[in-house]
C-alpha cells in the first residue's frame, strides 16, 4: 500500500508543477443558453426573466422558452428565474467556461400561494410536483465536487440521513432499513438495472459508479413515499437526467482521476437543435498494481453516448447507450494478504440501450415513451481460501426488454392527471454451481447445480390524480397494478400523498402506500417451483415538515415506518435474513436448497436535514437520523438487520472564496452495525468461521467515523480551462473495521479494516 501512496503523492506533485507553471491568460467570455418550461406540463414558458445574480446581465425567454446571455466572464454564478404565477427559482453552481456554451434546462412550478397577478419571492429549491415527500435534488456540479465520492452518485447519496453506512469499499445504497436489492435507477425515462462497476448479482451494489458525471444534468433521489409512476422496488428511486450535447460547437474534455483515464466529446448534428455526445473511460489500476507489484488487478472500462433529435419544438427523440465491462482476479496468495475468505476470477459486462420519445401535445400536457434493452453477463469462479473447495461458479446472462410510457395532463388549475403503462420481458439464463460448503451456522450444505432459463413478463399500469382544492393544499392519489408471470402473482398498489402549506416558507406533508417487488431472480432460479415464492411487500408511512430558513437554506424533519412481508427465508438457516446475505457474508448470494416467503421486517426512524445551496461563498449539508431496522426469524425472534447503524450524522460543506479555489469536507459518524460472533469452539475444531446461532446480530462493530477533505483549483486560459483537485479520504486515518473473519492460517478470529488514509487526485481539461 505504501508503494501506491508514494506513486500518488509523486504524481500529484508532478501534475501540480506542470499545471502551475503556465501563466493564466485573459479568458474569452462564455455564454449561457437554456430552455425554461412548466415543470408539470413541460410546456415552454414565454417571457421568463432570466437574471445573472449580482450583475446587470440577463435575458428573457422567447416563444419556445429559450434564452441566451452572451459575454459572461468565466466563473461560477447563480441565475434567478422569475415569471408571474410561478414560483421563482434560483439556480446555483452555474459554471461559465472560456469560449464555451453552458446549457441549462430549467423547470418552474406553478405557485401554490399566488394568483396570476402576484409574483412571489423564490428560492434555490425546486419542488417535485408528484413527489412531495422524501425527495432531494442535486445538480451536476454538486455531484462532481462532493468529497469522498469521486464522481460516484451512489457515494454522494450517503450524505443523506436515510442511507446506512456499511463499508468504504462498496457503494451499497441501503435506504431506510432496506436492502441493496430494493433500489431503482432511471436515466432519461429508461431503467438501468445497476449503475455500478463490479455489481453484485441481484442487488444494486457495486464498487464504483458507472455513469459519467459530466453527462448528468441533475438527479432526484426519493427515499420513500414515491408515486405510482415507479414500481417493482420497495425502498428508493433515483431519477437521473442526462444533459444534451452542445448544439452549436464541438467541445472536448480529457479526464484523469482515481476512477480512470478518459474523455468526453460532443457537438451539433446538422439540422435544427440536434446534438450528440460520447464519453469513454478505462481504469489504470491494473497497470499500476502490476508496475508496483501490489495486490489484485481490477480492470474496468465504460463507454456511453447520447444523441438527441428535435424534429420540431414539440418532439424530442433521444438515443441512449451505456456499456460497462469489469474484470478482476484474486489469487490464493493475494486472498491471504488481503484477509479475504474466497479467491478466483470475476468478469462482468453490462449494456443498456434505448430510445425515448417526448412529445408536447399542448400547453396542458405531454407524453414520454421509451423502449430499451438491457443485458448483464456474469462469469464468476470462486474457491475457498485454505481448502481450495469450490464456492460459487456463475455463468449467467440477464436480458430485459422494457417499454415505459408516461402521460401527464393539467385538466384545469385544480385537477391534473398522470397515467401510463410499463412492461418488461425477462429472459434470464442461469448455469450456476454452488459448491458443497458449510453454511454460516456450521450446517453442511451439498453442492447445488442451477441450470435454468427464466422467461416471463411484468406488465403494469398506473394512474395518479393530483388535486389542488385550495391554494395551500395539494393531494396526490395513485394506483398501480402489476402481474408477474414467473410467479403468477399480481397486485394492486394504492398510494397517497398530501402537502399543506402553512406559509410560503413552511409546509407539512405525509404519504403512505403499498409497494411490491418480485423476488431477486438469482434466488428464484434456485427454486424448482417458482410460484412458491410470493411478491415482496412493503408499506410506507411518512410524516414530515419542511421549512425554508432563508432563500438558500432549507430544513426538513421526517418520521417514517416501513412494514415488510413475504421475504425469502431459508429453513436450514432459520435465524438469518437471506435478503441481507451479501452484507453479512462474502458479498454475494450463496446457494439455498429451499426458500419460503415467511420473512417479515420492520424499520422506523426520524431524520433531520439542513441543506444550504451555494449563494455566495458557502454551501453545505448537515443530516442526522436515528432508526431501527429489524426482522423476525423463522423461530419468531426479532433481530436487528445487518445494516442497522441506529444513528447517523453527516456534516458536509464547502467554501468558495473566488472562481479559482474551492475547499470542501465531509465528515461521517455512524453507529456500529450488528454482526454475529463466531462460535469459537466449533470454528476452532473446523478451522473455519462458524457463526454462533444463539447470538445472531447481537454484537455490534465499533462506531464508524471518517473525514474526507478536498481542494479544487480551476485554471482559466484563453479558450480552455483546467480543473485540478486533490482529496484525502479518511484524512485522519481512522481504523474502521470492515469485517471480522476466521484466519485459517492461525485458526483464530481476525479483522479486516476499511480504507486507511487515501490520497485521490483529479484532472479535467476542457477544450
DSSP 644-656: --SEEEEEEEEE-
Query: What is residue 207's DSSP assignment?
Result: S
The β-bridge partners of 431 are: 451
The CATH class for the domain spanning 132-766 reads mainly beta
Mean pLDDT value of segment 372-390: 87
Cell of 567: 421475504
Dihedral pair phi/psi, residue 707, rounded to 5°: -120, 130
* Strand (E) or helix (H) holding 236: strand 236-242
| 71-92 burial code (b ≥16 CB/10 A, e <16) | ebebbbbbbbbbbebbbbbbbb
* Strand (E) or helix (H) holding 658: none
pLDDT reported for residue 637: 95
614 CB-near residues (< 8 Å, 6+ apart): 76, 78, 92, 93, 552, 654, 656
* 3 state DSSP class of 304: strand
pLDDT level of residue 1 (50, 70, 90 thresholds): very low
Cα–Cα dist 488/485, whole Å: 5
Cα dihedral 132, 135, 140, 145 sign:
positive
pLDDT of residue 470 exceeding 80, the answer is yes
pLDDT level of residue 212 (50, 70, 90 thresholds): very high
Angle at 338 between CA 332 and CA 340, to 5 degrees: 70
pLDDT reported for residue 111: 80
User: How many percent of the chain have pLDDT more than 90?
Assistant: 64
pLDDT, greater one: 121 or 68: 68
Dihedral pair phi/psi, residue 695, rounded to 5°: -135, 35
Cell of 388: 481450495
* 3 state DSSP class of 477: strand
The domain spans of the chain are: 132-766
CA 228 to each of CA 22, 107, 130: distance values in angstroms, whole numbers, following the listed order: 55, 22, 9
pLDDT of residue 332 exceeding 90, the answer is no
Cα dihedral 383, 385, 389, 391 sign:
negative
Cα dihedral 203, 206, 209, 210 sign:
negative
Cα–Cα dist 635/673, whole Å: 22
Dihedral pair phi/psi, residue 578, rounded to 5°: -65, -35
Mean pLDDT value of segment 167-173: 88
What global pTM score does this model have?
A: 0.92
Return the minimum-mean-pLDDT range out of 122-131, 452-461, 693-702. 122-131
pLDDT digits (tens, 9 = 90+) for 420-469: 999 999 999 988 887 776 666 667 777 778 888 899 999 999 999 999 99
**Burial (Cβ within 10 Å: 0-12, 13-18, ≥19) of residue 222:** buried
Angle between helices 285-292 and 2-20 (to 10 degrees): 120
Between β-strands 448-470 and 473-484, what pairing exists: parallel, antiparallel or unpaired?
A: antiparallel
**CA-atom Rg of the chain in angstroms:** 26
**In the Cβ-directed half-sphere of 343, how many Cα atoms lie within 13 Å?**
18
pLDDT level of residue 127 (50, 70, 90 thresholds): confident
Do residues 383 and 375 lie in contact, with contact meaning Cβ atoms separated by under 8 Å? no
pLDDT of residue 643 exceeding 90, the answer is yes
Residue 64 CB coordination number (10 Å): 16
Query: Do you know the residue count of the chain?
Result: 767
Cα–Cα dist 228/476, whole Å: 10
pLDDT of residue 708 exceeding 80, the answer is yes
Nearest partner of 568 among 626, 636, 518, 630, judged by Cα = 518
Residue with cell 396542458: 364
**Burial (Cβ within 10 Å: 0-12, 13-18, ≥19) of residue 488:** exposed
Cell of 659: 472562481
* Terminal Cα distance for the chain, rounded: 35
CA 412 to each of CA 87, 115, 470, 663: distance values in angstroms, whole numbers, following the listed order: 18, 14, 13, 48
Between β-strands 236-242 and 183-187, what pairing exists: parallel, antiparallel or unpaired?
A: parallel
Mean pLDDT value of segment 609-630: 94
Cα–Cα dist 135/138, whole Å: 10
The DSSP secondary structure of 238-273, one letter per residue, reads EEEEE-PPPSSS-EEEEEEETTEEEEEEEEEETTTT
Cα–Cα dist 443/440, whole Å: 7
Cα–Cα dist 397/381, whole Å: 15
Amino acid at each position: 500500500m505504501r508503494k501506491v501512496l508514494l506513486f500518488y503523492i509523486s504524481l500529484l506533485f508532478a501534475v501540480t508543477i506542470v499545471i502551475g507553471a503556465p501563466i493564466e491568460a485573459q479568458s474569452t467570455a462564455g455564454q449561457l443558453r437554456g430552455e425554461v418550461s412548466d415543470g408539470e406540463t413541460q410546456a415552454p414558458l414565454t417571457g421568463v426573466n432570466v437574471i445573472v445574480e449580482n450583475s446587470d446581465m440577463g435575458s428573457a425567454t422567447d416563444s419556445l422558452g429559450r434564452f441566451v446571455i452572451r459575454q459572461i466572464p468565466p466563473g461560477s454564478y447563480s441565475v434567478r428565474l422569475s415569471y408571474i404565477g410561478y414560483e421563482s427559482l434560483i439556480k446555483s453552481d452555474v459554471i461559465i467556461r472560456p469560449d464555451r456554451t453552458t446549457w441549462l434546462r430549467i423547470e418552474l412550478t406553478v405557485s401554490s400561494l399566488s394568483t396570476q397577478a402576484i409574483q412571489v419571492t423564490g428560492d434555490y429549491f425546486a419542488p417535485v410536483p408528484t413527489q412531495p415527500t422524501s425527495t432531494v435534488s442535486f445538480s451536476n456540479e454538486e455531484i462532481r465536487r462532493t468529497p469522498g465520492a469521486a464522481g460516484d452518485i451512489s457515494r454522494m447519496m450517503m450524505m443523506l440521513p436515510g442511507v446506512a453506512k456499511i463499508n468504504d469499499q462498496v457503494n451499497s445504497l441501503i435506504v431506510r432499513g432496506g436492502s441493496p436489492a430494493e433500489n431503482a435507477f432511471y436515466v432519461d425515462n429508461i431503467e438501468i438495472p445497476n449503475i455500478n462497476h463490479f455489481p453484485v448479482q441481484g442487488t444494486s451494489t457495486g464498487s464504483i459508479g458507472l455513469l459519467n458525471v459530466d453527462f448528468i444534468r441533475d438527479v432526484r433521489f426519493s427515499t420513500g413515499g414515491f408515486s405510482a409512476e415507479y414500481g417493482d422496488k420497495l425502498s428508493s428511486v433515483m431519477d437521473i437526467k442526462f444533459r444534451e450535447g452542445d448544439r452549436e460547437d464541438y467541445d472536448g474534455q480529457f479526464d484523469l482521476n482515481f476512477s480512470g483515464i478518459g474523455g468526453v466529446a460532443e457537438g451539433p448534428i446538422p439540422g435544427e437543435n440536434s446534438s450528440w455526445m460520447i464519453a469513454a473511460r478505462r481504469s489504470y489500476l491494473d497497470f499500476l498494481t502490476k508496475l508496483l507489484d501490489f495486490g489484485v488487478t481490477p480492470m474496468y472500462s465504460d463507454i456511453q453516448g447520447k444523441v438527441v433529435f428535435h424534429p420540431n419544438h414539440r418532439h424530442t427523440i433521444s438515443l441512449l447507450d451505456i456499456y460497462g465491462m469489469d474484470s478482476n482476479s484474486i489469487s490464493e496468495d493475494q486472498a491471504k494478504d488481503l484477509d479475504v475468505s474466497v479467491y478466483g476470477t470475476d468478469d462482468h459486462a453490462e449494456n443498456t440501450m434505448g430510445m425515448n420519445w417526448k412529445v408536447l401535445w399542448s400547453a396542458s400536457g405531454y407524453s414520454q415513451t421509451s423502449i430499451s434493452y438491457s443485458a448483464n453477463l456474469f462469469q464468476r469462479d470462486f474457491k475457498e481460501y485454505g481448502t481450495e473447495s469450490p464456492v460459487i461458479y456463475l455463468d449467467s446472462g440477464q436480458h430485459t426488454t422494457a417499454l415505459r410510457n408516461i402521460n401527464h395532463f393539467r385538466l384545469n388549475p385544480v385537477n391534473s392527471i398522470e397515467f401510463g403503462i410499463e412492461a418488461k420481458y425477462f429472459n434470464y439464463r442461469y448455469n450456476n454451481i454452488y459448491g458443497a460448503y458449510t453454511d454460516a451456522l456450521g450446517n453442511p450444505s451439498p453442492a447445488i447445480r442451477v441450470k435454468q432459463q427464466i422467461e416471463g413478463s411484468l406488465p403494469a399500469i398506473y394512474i395518479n390524480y393530483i388535486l389542488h382544492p385550495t391554494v395551500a393544499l395539494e393531494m396526490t392519489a395513485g394506483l398501480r397494478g402489476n402481474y408477474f408471470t414467473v410467479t403468477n402473482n399480481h397486485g394492486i398498489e394504492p398510494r397517497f400523498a398530501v402537502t399543506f402549506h402553512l406559509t410560503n416558507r413552511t409546509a407539512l406533508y405525509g404519504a403512505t402506500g403499498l409497494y411490491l417487488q418480485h423476488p431477486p431472480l438469482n434466488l428464484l432460479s434456485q427454486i424448482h417451483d417458482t410460484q412458491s415464492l410470493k411478491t415482496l411487500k412493503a408499506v410506507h408511512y411518512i410524516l414530515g415538515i419542511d421549512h425554508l430558513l432563508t432563500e438558500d437554506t432549507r430544513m426538513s424533519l421526517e418520521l417514517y415506518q416501513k412494514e415488510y412481508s413475504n421475504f425469502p427465508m431459508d429453513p436450514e438457516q432459520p435465524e438469518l435474513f437471506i435478503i441481507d446475505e451479501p452484507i453479512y457474508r462474502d458479498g454475494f448470494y450463496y446457494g439455498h436448497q429451499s426458500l419460503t416467503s415467511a420473512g417479515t421486517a420492520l424499520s422506523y426512524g426520524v431524520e433531520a436535514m439542513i441543506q444550504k445551496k451555494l449563494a455566495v461563498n458557502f454551501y453545505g449539508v448537515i443530516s442526522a437520523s436515528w432508526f431501527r431496522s429489524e426482522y423476525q426469524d423463522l423461530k419468531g425472534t426479532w433481530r436487528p438487520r445487518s445494516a442497522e447503524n441506529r444513528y447517523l450524522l453527516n456534516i458536509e460543506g464547502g467554501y468558495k472564496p473566488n472562481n479559482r479555489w474551492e475547499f470542501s469536507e465531509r465528515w461521517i459518524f455512524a453507529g456500529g452495525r450488528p454482526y454475529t460472533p463466531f462460535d469459537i469452539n466449533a470454528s476452532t475444531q473446523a478451522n473455519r468461521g462458524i457463526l454462533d446461532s444463539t447470538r445472531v446480530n447481537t454484537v455490534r462493530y465499533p462506531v464508524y467515523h471518517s473525514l474526507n477533505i478536498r481542494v479544487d483549483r480551476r485554471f482559466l486560459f484563453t479558450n480552455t480551462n483546467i480543473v485540478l483537485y486533490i482529496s484525502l479520504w479518511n484524512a485522519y486515518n481512522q481504523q474502521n473495521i470492515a469485517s471480522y473473519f476466521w484466519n485459517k492460517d492461525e485458526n483464530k478470529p481476525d479483522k479486516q479494516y476499511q480504507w486507511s488514509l487515501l490520497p485521490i487526485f483529479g484532472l479535467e481539461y476542457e477544450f
